[in-house]
Amino acid sequence: MEEEKTIPEVVLNSGQKMPMLGFGTGTVPLPPPHVLIPAFMEAIKVGYRHFDTAAYYGSEEPLGEAIAQALDQGLIKSRSEIFVTTKLWCTEAHSGLVLPALHRSLQRLGLEYVDLYLIHFPVRLRQGAKGTKYGKEDILPLDMKGTWEDMEQCSKLGLAKSIGVSNFGVKKLSQLVQNAIITPALVQVEMNAAWQQENLRKFCKEKGIHVSAWSPLGANGAVWGSLAVMDSPILKDIALKSGKSVAQVALRWIIEEGATPIVKSFNSERMRQNLEIFDWELSESDSEKIKQIPQHRGFKGERFVSEFGPFKTLEDLWE
């Protein structure tokens, strides 16, 4: 029996512990449950304890099923061993709709609480707007104060042990923090060696907000993804020199920067490799070299921009 890897934990400002590596469950197109459930169970088997889902992904139900089966089979002893993050979709980012949305997520997950609940985007869509096929008139200004008060309610009721946001830039985060009673525990953003998010991380450090990184390898399988990370000559060079894979170097860099990568691979071999980033370090000169990698955002989010909506430019959306 191979020994599963234990993943170090970070303590969030809510006092909750979170494993420093997350397993992402959102992918397009989403494989059917009979493919997903065994993949999630395999991830639990090899040592993942932090799973990231969202109402929008459609993966809450298979994830819940995998956790239930893992308990049945004794892969884990109790629900508390798994850290589950889910997210509020933009059509429910309305004051009064947050709590019911979380209840539906919990129902799909088959859980009594989630460990972390995030606002998925700093965007509100008209109720009933479907998928990515909504019209520009469906994009509404976010009632940040009202929505966050509802998120705080989820926390007070114990339905979410920690609350936070996703895809918020510095400007929106500071706006949120000004009005918040409960400071967000975490912000999840696109972050990798080719999009390092330095300003945001500096801001979060000052405010005690943890950063987690989606697309830590540049999402090279996604429509909007790129090979900026996996084909980086700098990362290839460091990988060759240290006897690691490019992915391992890229993930290790995120860990050393104090952020939590959310990895996504349903391939058992790669799942294992992605775990092997905790027992070695990058040299100082390697870290310096990584800072030289040309920077560009992968996911642009054009679909949220409209001359009639709250975000007239991409800058408005991400700032």
Residue 93 lies in a domain: yes
Residue 4 lies in a domain: no
Q: How far is 293 from 235, CA to CA, in rounded Å? A: 9
Annotated catalytic residue, options 48, 56, 57, 117: 57
Residue 79 lies in a domain: yes
For strands 17-19 and 160-166, give the pairing: unpaired
Output the known binding site: 120
Query: Could you tell me the CATH number of the domain that includes residue 161?
Result: 3.20.20.100
Output the known binding site for substrate: 120
pLDDT in tens, 216-244: 998 766 666 788 999 999 999 999 999 99
Specify whether 48 is catalytic.
no
What is the tally of structural domains in the chain?
A: 1
pLDDT in tens, 276-311: 999 999 999 999 999 999 998 888 888 888 887 888
Residue 2 lies in a domain: no
> 197 vs 28, 200, 214, 300, CA distance in Å?
25, 5, 12, 14
pLDDT tops 60 at residue 10: yes
Residue 285 lies in a domain: yes
Residue 62 lies in a domain: yes
Residue span of the structural domain in which 191 resides = 9-318
Residue 128 lies in a domain: yes
pLDDT tops 60 at residue 199: yes
Residue 92 lies in a domain: yes
pLDDT in tens, 143-188: 999 999 999 999 999 999 999 999 999 999 999 999 899 999 999 9
